[in-house]
Structure 1
Amino acid sequence: MCGIAGIYRFGDLGAAESARDEDRALVGRMLRKLEHRGPDDEGLESVGRVTLGVRRLSILDVLGGHQPIADAERRVWAIQNGELYNFPELRADLATRHPLRTRTDTELLPYLWLEHGPAAIERLRGMFATAIYDTRAQSLMLARDPLGVKPLYAAHLGDRLLFASEIKALLCESALPRTLDREAVERYLALGFVAGERTALHAVRKVRPGCRVLLTPEGRKDERYWPWPRFFNAAGAHDPGGARDPHALATEAGRRIAASTESMLLSDRPVGILLSGGVDSSVMVGLLPEAIRRETRTFSIGFEGAGYHDERAVARRVAEFFGTRHREFSVPLDVRAELPRIIAMLDEPCADAAIVPAHLVARAASQEVTVLLSGTGGDEVFGGYRRYRLPALMRKLGWMPPGLARVGASWLGELDHHRRSLSGERAIMVRKLLEARGRGTPLASYLS
């Protein structure tokens, strides 16, 4: 990952240029807060109304991909955190009309802007947060990838808009109010994360996934460039083409997952895949072409005393079957020692306990690879979580009075169950189901 930061000045251009030293000093401090995101290189440029900064983790064109980067005539400047997976196709096309000088994907952004303006972002496929400044129009565009994989935060202070990959970088500005956003805190307590554009701070907002923010001397315009997919037609039925054959759907899904995974392996640095032995990561590995698969590095992690939840044996069998270059790590799970380090990396509260093992396996694998892929998101896309079955299970328990369900859940809660065993895991799941029935409705259960 990389870290980006910057300042855009509204109003009079002369005033913006006179404040350049002040802006450069502030962005410099912001970049120091982002150094952990990009240890390989730092870049800082002030042009017209904008000051742009980058801390870079070099993935493509390690030596030649310095940012901020401009077109040959230095009209359009760009910075990016992320990776464009359709980079080879875009570069081959643009190279027929423009003098490309590097092999970094960020260099394509100024030329795409010259040809398409704000619609340039619609041609990208990948995970990214980017800023593109046009010196002629004196405009800045901020944009995030459709699903918001890469973060981007912004704060409007007087005649300035500050933006950065992390909130802690924005806090380098002492004038930024620290007032908590009470509604955002309520969302966190209900959902386990802060949904929407809000953040824990009232003065800071996210750039929404699939959206672009256009800044001009006159003001700001937010718009969605990526429409949500339409899975159903207006009548509520499936695609007007009629019911699709499940085998054809599975084949098409497999083709897309394989193509997506293979495109993510594009890198000038070592790449690996986090292999848990579960469906998601195993499918990613299994759908790769054999020649690529046998050169792919896979990693799994085990925790001392994990018992039933130690996935290494299953991951090992998958790796042996597909012939990957597999590596296992065993680490102590000392949550008390790790939490301060993890919290320091988070900009907002996150109630997902998976952040602890994710941090540990990434740290262990970073000794051998720079890029690590995982099957994260598969449960959301394919309905893998147990909570997606909650409405159907609640209907089956409709005969049970909520009061009786609460008594049963309380009794199970008093027993000493541990997820280190299969029986303990099942007992906990039954307790959660009874708790859900005790709350009455699936929505109340989901939000609890």
Structure 2
Amino acid sequence: MAARMCGIVGLFSSDRDRPIDPGHLGAMTGRLRHRGPDDGGSFAAGGVALGFTRLSIVDLATGNQPHHSEDGQITSVCNGEIFNHRELRQELERRGHSFRTRCDVEVLVHLYEEYGSDFVGRLNGQFAFALYDRRRHRLLLGRDHVGIAPLFYTEVGGELLFASEIKALLAHRGVERRVDLAGLDQILTFPGMVSPTTMFQGIHALPPGHVLEAGSGRPARTWPYWDLVYPEAARPAERRDPAFYVARLEELLLASVRRRLDADVPVGFYLSGGLDSSLIGALAQAAAPDRRFHSYSITFPQADIDERRPQRLMAEQLGTRHHEIEFPPAEIIRRLRQAVAAAEAPLKEAYNTCSLALSAMVRESGHKVVLTGEGADELFAGYVGYRLDATGGRIPGTADPLEAMLEEEVRAELWGDPAFFYERDYRLFRETKAGLYSPAAAAALPQFECTLWSPIDRSCLAGRHPLHQRSYADFKLRLADHLLADHGDRVSYANSIEARYPFLDIEVVEFARSIPPDLLVRQDTEKWLLREIARKYLPPAVAGREKFSFVAPGSPYLLAQRVDWIDDLLSPALIRRQNYFDAETVERLRRQHLAGNTRINTTFDTDVLMLVLTFGLFLEEFDMPGYA
């Protein structure tokens, strides 16, 4: 299989006679070389230009893009992998199509010839593609079901621009740099941003499971081809014996891992010491018992957050060539600017710096591909909220009856269900935000306050079991544009590393929708079903281990180091000049942290000062203007 999680860019005009400036395409493509340092390609015709940068994984000699249909009328570039390409290729060859390479993504042009835009629903993979139909002068952009591969777009001077990262769009001299306060408010309020919102006004993220179409004489439009739709609680899926779900999930996960081991370069895996990554490592060994894998871990000198003992236990059991790097807190300071530049957004946590170090270690070892355990928590009930849902408990909110009633009204607007508690009491948090923003920004808060409209499809929450409601919300608010984005794709590709996600195989996701909720949390245990599988593969100390969140020291530590550039970014003079946050509020938080009066529980609390600090880095890195 020819896998290339790389970079794509392009420009499109609805006027097919309009020439595209090749300098723009070159500048945009050049900003994505870290995603694809091995090769590149381009295509241009009237009203369209496509660019591609390649990270060579398989079919190293002939796997470059773009790909074309037999008659040259359909052209595509794709950042990603199509895992069911062999089955699709056989089907297409039976229908008379001929292939020039053995690349997995070459199936796209032929599928489009057969099925039109509906072909996207037939794909199993992690991908973002652009496909151009010369006859119709039609451009299609698509993003995979769960949002592993990123894709951004904007319109400038009558042209639609798109790219795998925003920095490529900013290379076009016509793109303005303006902060989208709705994106900032989402990061502050939710686990992260939610597509289509970004930190850049006028630049949009194509949501997971969506297609964008642009053509002659009509504006671009987007539509969903897939969503995570759980069964209604009143009409649950047909129930089977628990042993069936254990056996079937194990079978699907093994198949998913096998697909992701298919490469012409070595594939390693991360070992965090927890259940998810350990199980993926064990399944990789089971799927390819003749291989000696490389495993990668990060450790910390602070004993309370260090996991080297279970990491080394798993590495020894699996017989891997294990690589680990100790990450002292001082490394956060050294890497924080790079993490913000890679994320293209401010951050609330410092652990992206750890992830950058981890992907750099993979690259230095000579590897390009790693498996990761991301996605298991959101599909199989891995957070504390799921256990509280299952037991009828609740994270404490306000005790005031009136405030509780008003909060339920906010939840009804956000989720369509006043009983669904997600993360925090949002009405009270509005007051916190109003005090954090500058007077000018606070006055405009009703225009960008993210809790005034729902960021998700509320119909997918209506009438669902509480565990399914939380899973859907986590998929949309935590996974796609945070854990798979700033904490996944960006920190991997900053070091030219491809990450693969066995838990997010679409066959695994679709099966997860049918699992009865009481098999997700059972006997007061999160991820019960996964733990039943893990008992076959992992030592009891790991299979039964409670979730240990991947954390790193936050803003109190950074402030205590008295680093000049950190003090400068939080100085009242600069905060006032930028005019996004209130200088007095920021200074009060800074003094509290320096006095040692702040303890941040990252499970429930927002590290507000970390957000302010990294927002300052964001403004500098992307040359963004202050708030007028």
Kept in 1, the 8 Å contact 2:156–2:175? The answer is: yes
219-228 or 369-378, which moves further after superposition?
219-228
Given that 2:40 and 2:54 are in contact with CA atoms closer than 8 Å, whether structure 1 keeps it comes out as yes
Query: Which whole-Å deviations, capped at 9, do the CAs of 1:359-414 have from their partners, x for residues lacking one?
Result: 11111011221111110111111121234445669659799999xxxxxxxxxxxx
Aligned equivalents of 2:29 and 2:236: distance in 1? 48
1:66 paired residue number: 64
The whole-number CA distance in structure 1 between the counterparts of 2:319 and 2:603 is 43
Contact 1:275 1:298 in 2 (8 A): no
Q: Alpha carbons of 1:159 and 1:366: their partners in 2 closer, same or farther (altered >3 Å)?
A: same
Shift of 1:262: 1.3
Range with bigger deviation, 321-330 or 192-201: 321-330
Question: Does the CA contact (< 8 Å) of 1:184 and 1:194 recur in 2?
Answer: yes
1:285–1:293 Cα contact (<8 Å) kept: no
Aligned CA distance change for structure 1 residues 34 and 398 (closer, same or farther; 3 Å): closer
Alignment counterpart, residue 81 of structure 1, candidates 79, 82, 92: 79
Q: Using the alignment, how far apart are the partners of 1:147 and 1:355 within structure 2?
A: 21
Match of 1:244 in 2: 240
Task: Name the counterpart of 2:224.
Answer: 224
Counterpart CA distance in 2 for 1:94 and 1:208 is 28
Alpha carbons 1:271, 1:296 under 8 Å: kept: no
| 3-state DSSP of counterpart to 1:281 | helix
- 1:45 equivalent to 2:43? Answer yes
Task: State the match for 2:174 in structure 1.
Answer: 175
Match of 1:337 among 310, 319, 334: 334
Question: Partners of 1:264 and 1:202 in 2: how far apart?
Answer: 36
Q: Once the two structures are superposed, what CA deviation does each residue of 1:316-355 show, in whole Å capped at 9, x if it has no partner?
A: 2223323344333345441000112222212222334332
Residue 147 (structure 2) pairs with residue 148 (structure 1): yes
Indicate if the aligned counterparts of 2:258 and 2:287 stay in contact, CA closer than 8 A.
no
Q: 1:431 to 1:153 in 2, by over 3 A?
A: closer
Query: Aligned-pair distance for 1:259?
Result: 1.2
1:222–1:397 distance in 2 versus 1, CA, 3 Å: closer
The answer on whether the counterparts of 2:272 and 2:298 sit within 8 Å (CA) in structure 1 is: no
Aligned to 1:354: 351
Letter of the 1:238 partner, please give it.
P
CA contact (8 A) 2:128 2:141 kept: yes
State the alpha-carbon separation in 2 of the partners of residues 39 and 92 from structure 1: 31
Residue in 2 aligned with 1:31? 29
User: 1:61 and 1:395, CA in 2 relative to 1: closer, same or farther beyond 3 A?
Assistant: closer
Q: Is the 8 A contact 1:7 1:161 kept in 2?
A: yes
- What corresponds to 2:254 in structure 1? 258
Q: Which residue identity is paired with 2:291? A: E
Alignment TM-score, normalising by the size of structure 1: 0.82
With over 3 angstroms needed to count, the CA separation of the structure-2 counterparts of 1:259 and 1:171, relative to structure 1, is: same
Q: Does 1:10 align with 2:14?
A: yes
CA offsets 1:258-297 (integer angstroms, 9 cap, x no match): 1111111111122111122211011112234636045152
Deviation at 1:252, TM superposition (A): 1.7
Letter in 1 for 2:309: A
Deviation (angstroms), 1:185: 1.7
Secondary structure of 1:8 counterpart: strand
Letter of the aligned partner of 2:359 in structure 1?
A: A
Question: For residues 395 and 37 of structure 1, do their structure 2 counterparts lie closer, same or farther at Cα, with a shift above 3 Å needed?
Answer: closer
Residues 288/432 of structure 1: CA separation in 2 closer, same or farther (3 Å cut): closer
Deviation at 1:314, TM superposition (A): 1.2
Q: Give the paired residue count.
A: 401
What is the letter of the counterpart of residue 264 of structure 1? Answer: R
Query: What is the deviation of 1:237?
Result: 4.0
Distance 2:267 2:48 in 1: 35
Aligned: 1:314 with 2:310: yes
Runs of 4+ with >6 A deviation: 396-402, 433-436
Contact 2:85 2:105 in 1 (8 A): no
Looking at structure 1, the residues matched to 311 and 84 of structure 2 have their Cα atoms a distance apart, in angstroms, of 30
Question: TM-score, normalized by length of structure 2?
Answer: 0.60
CA contact (8 A) 1:294 1:323 kept: no
Distance 1:396 1:110, change over 3 A: closer
Task: Please give the alpha-carbon distance, in whole angstroms, between the structure 2 residues aligned to 1:292 and 1:196.
Answer: 37
Aligned to 1:197: 196
Return 5+ residue gaps in structure 2 as ranges.
Answer: 402-550, 553-598, 606-628
Q: Is the Cα–Cα contact under 8 Å of residues 79 and 128 in structure 2 kept in the other structure? A: yes
Return the match for 1:290 from 278, 286, 291. 286
Please say if residues 75 and 109 of structure 2, whose CA atoms lie closer than 8 Å, have aligned partners that are also in contact: yes
The residue aligned with 2:183 is 184
Letter in 2 for 1:5: V
Q: Provide closer, same or farther for how the CA distance between residues 325 and 292 of structure 1 changes in structure 2, counting only shifts above 3 A.
A: farther
In the alignment, the residues of structure 2 paired with residue 293 and residue 188 of structure 1 have an alpha-carbon distance, to the nearest angstrom, of 43
Alignment-mate amino acid for residue 79 of structure 1: V
Is contact 1:140–1:216 with CA below 8 Å preserved after alignment? yes
Computed over aligned residues only, the root mean square deviation of the Cα atoms, in angstroms, reads 2.7
1:397-440 alpha-carbon deviations (Å, 9 max, x no partner): 799999xxxxxxxxxxxxxxxx99xxxxxxxxx9859988xxxx
Tell me: CA distance 1:106–1:397, structure 2 relative to 1, closer, same or farther (3 Å): closer
In 2: Cα distance, 1:82 partner to 1:308 partner: 38
SS of the residue aligned with 1:95?
helix
Which deviates more from structure 2 when the two are superposed, residues 272-281 or residues 30-39?
A: 272-281
Q: Do the aligned partners of 2:128 and 2:143 also contact (CA within 8 Å) in 1?
A: yes
Going from structure 1 to structure 2, the CA distance change for 1:202 and 1:397 (only over 3 Å counts) comes to closer
Answering whether residue 138 of structure 2 is matched by residue 159 of structure 1, we say: no
Cα distance in 1, alignment partners of residues 120 and 347 from structure 2 = 29
Deviation for aligned residue 1:189: 1.0
In structure 1, how many angstroms separate the alpha carbons of the residues matched to 2:66 and 2:259?
Answer: 25
**SS of corresponding position for 1:112:** helix
Unpaired runs of 5+ residues, structure 1, are 403-418, 421-429, 437-448
1:364 and 2:361 aligned? yes
**CA deviation string 1:158-188 (max 9, x = no partner):** 3210000111111112222322222222111
Q: 1:317 to 1:107 in 2, by over 3 A?
A: same
What is the alpha-carbon distance in structure 1 between the residues aligned to residue 304 and residue 321 of structure 2?
25
The code of the aligned residue for 1:49 comes to G
User: Letter of the aligned partner of 1:189 in structure 2?
Assistant: L
Aligned to 1:93: 91
Q: Secondary structure at the match of 2:288?
A: helix
Distance 1:85 1:434, change over 3 A: closer
The aligned counterpart of 2:324 is 328
Match of 2:133 in 1: 134
CA distance in 1, matches of 2:85, 2:131: 17
Q: Is the 8 A contact 1:274 1:374 kept in 2?
A: yes
Greater RCO (Cα-Cα under 8 Å, separation 6 or more): 2
| SS of residue in 2 equivalent to 1:348 | coil
Equivalent residue of 1:185, what SS?
helix
Matches of residues 342-421 of structure 1 in structure 2 within 5 Å? 342-367=339-364, 368-389=366-387, 395=394
